[in-house]
Amino acid sequence: MAEKVKSPAEVMKLLPQEDCGECGCDSCFEFALKLVERTTTVDKCPKLKKSALKKIKNMLAPPMAEISFGSGDKMVTTGGEEVMHREELAFFGKTIIAYDVWDTMSEERLVERVNDIASMSFVRFKVQYNVDAIAIRSVSGDPTKFKNTVKKVADTTDLPIILCSLDPKVLKAGAKVLKGKKPLLYAATKDNWEKVLEIAKEYETAVAIFSPLDLDMLGSIAATFAREGINDLILDPGTFCEPDSITETLSNISLLRRACVKAGVKEVSYPVMTVPAVASMSFKNKKMAAHYENYLANLFVTKGVNLMILHFPEIWEFMPVVYLREGIFKHPKLESAIDPDLYAFNDPDEMSPLMVTSNYTLTYGIVSGDLDRYRVKCWMLVIDTNALSVDTAVGSGDFCADNIVEHMEEFDVESKIKHRILIIPRVAAEILPELREALPDWKVVLGPKDSSEIATFLTEEWEKLLAEEGAA
C-alpha cells in the first residue's frame, strides 16, 4: 500500500465552501489546510454534512492507529502517528511513561512505592506533569498473589495499570480485578496469544504484543487480534539495552515506523513500546543502572516511542524525560504560544515591578525560569505576538505600542498596580517613543539586555524608579 497523500484541495471539495468563519478560520480553504496540518478538528465546522464528515475523517486518518487504556479522566491515549521524522509535520502520540511494582513486595512497601510513583510530579509553564501509568510485574508467577497485588494497587491509585506476565492464568487473575477499568495486558506472544485473546475479549482490555527480533510475528499476532475485534494494540519488538545490541532495538523501532507510515502495512500500524527497565537487570550497581535507564528512556523518546516502562521512580530521571518528550511531541504550529495574560511571579504586590514580553514559548520559558530562579517578585504582561520572539515581533510590528496598550486594558493592569512604571525589553528600544506617547501617564523604561540580569537590574534600579515617580 502506498503512502497516503493528504491534500487540502481534496478536503476543500467536501467542505460547505461558504467561508462563514464559524470554524474560526477566514475561509474554508484555511480550515482545510489546518485539518491537514492537524491544528484543528473537523467537528469545528457546524455546517458539515454527516456523509462529508465521515469521508474527511477517513481521508485524514493517520496510518498508525490510536490506542487507549485506563478509565475515567486518567485514561491515556497514544499513537496516531503519520510521519517518520517529527520535522516533517509533528509527532502526536506522546510517550506514556509508566513505572513498575511487583507482586513479591511487602504490602507496606508496595503501597509506599505506588504512592511515590503517583505523587511524583512537577510544574512547567503552568502545566503539571505526572506519571501516566503503573506496571505490575508478576515475579512470583502465582495468580492469587498477583491478584492481591493488583487489588492493592487499584485501591491505592487510579492511574492506568499495565499487567505484566507471560502466563495467561496470571493475566486473567489481574484482569478480573480490573474489569471495567481497561488495563493493558503485557504481553501476548507466539506461545500464549490464544489464551490472551480470550482474556482481552472477556474483560475488554488493551493488549501489548511481544515478539523480540521477529517483526513478522508481531504483525501476524496483531492481525489476528484485530480480526477478533481487539484494536487497542501496542507492539514490543524487544528492548536490548547492551551497548553492542542497542542499535538492533533502534533499528526495529524504525522498521516498524517505516512499515506503518511509508508502506502502509496495516498489520504493524500500531504504536510501539519499549522497556528501559531492563537496564536494572544489566548492572549490579543501582546508580549505574538508573543512569543507563535514563539514557535509554531519553533515546527512545527521540524516536517517538509511544510507551515506556521504567524501574527507578526518581524525579531526576522523570523530569528530563518529560522535558524532552514535551519538546519532541510539540506541534510547531499549535503549541508555540503562551496564553496572553498578566502573570504574577513570586507573590507580587501592587507596588511590584511590571514588565512586558511576547507569548513565544521559548521567550516565556527563559524569562519565567530566570524570574523563578532569582525569586523576583513582579508582574509580567504577556502579549499576543503571534508566537514570535520579542526581536522578531518588533520587526513584524506585533510587539508595538498599540498591542501593549490593548493588552494592558484587556487585563485591567491599572486596577492591580498602583505605580505607573512599565519595563520593556531592551531589544524593543525602537518602540520606546511611540509607547511613551501612547501611555503619557506612565514612565516607560528599558530593561536589561538579558533576562538573567533582571534580578540585578531591579535590585539596583527599582527603588530609584519608584522614588523618581514619587518626586514627579
363 marked ligand binding residue: yes
Helix (H) or strand (E) segment spanning residue 300: helix 286-302
Pull the grid cell for residue 369. Answer: 525560569
Pull the grid cell for residue 453. Answer: 540580569
Cα 210 to Cα 189: distance, rounded to the nearest angstrom: 5
Residues in the chain: 472
45 marked ligand binding residue: yes
> 127-130 and 121-124 as β-strands: parallel, antiparallel, unpaired?
antiparallel
Q: Cβ distance 311 to 100 under 8 Å?
A: yes
Spatial CB neighbours of 180, under 8 Å, sequence gap ≥ 6: 71, 204
E strands, 332-438, are 341-345, 354-358, 378-383, 421-424
Cα 121 to Cα 131: distance, rounded to the nearest angstrom: 7
Q: State the DSSP string of 90-107.
A: ---SPPEEEEEEETTS-H
Cell 492537524 found at: 38
Cα 197 to Cα 180: distance, rounded to the nearest angstrom: 17
164 marked ligand binding residue: no
241 marked ligand binding residue: no
Q: Cβ distance 13 to 29 under 8 Å?
A: no
3-state secondary structure of 162: strand
Cα dihedral across residues 445, 448, 449, 450: positive or negative: negative
- ∠ CA(284), CA(286), CA(287), 5° rounding? 125
25 marked ligand binding residue: no
Helices (H), 143-214: 143-156, 168-177, 193-203
Q: Alpha carbon of 36 to those of 11, 52, 87, 215, 333: distances in Å?
A: 8, 15, 15, 30, 12
Query: How many CB atoms are located within 10 Å of the residue 277 CB?
Result: 24
Three state DSSP letters for 450-468: CHHHHHHHHHHHHHHHHHH
Pull the grid cell for residue 363. Answer: 521567550
Residue ranges for the known binding site are: 20, 23, 28, 45, 357, 363, 451
Residue ranges for the known binding site for [4Fe-4S] cluster are: 20, 23, 28, 45
Residue ranges for the known binding site for 5-methoxybenzimidazolylcob(I)amide are: 357, 363, 451
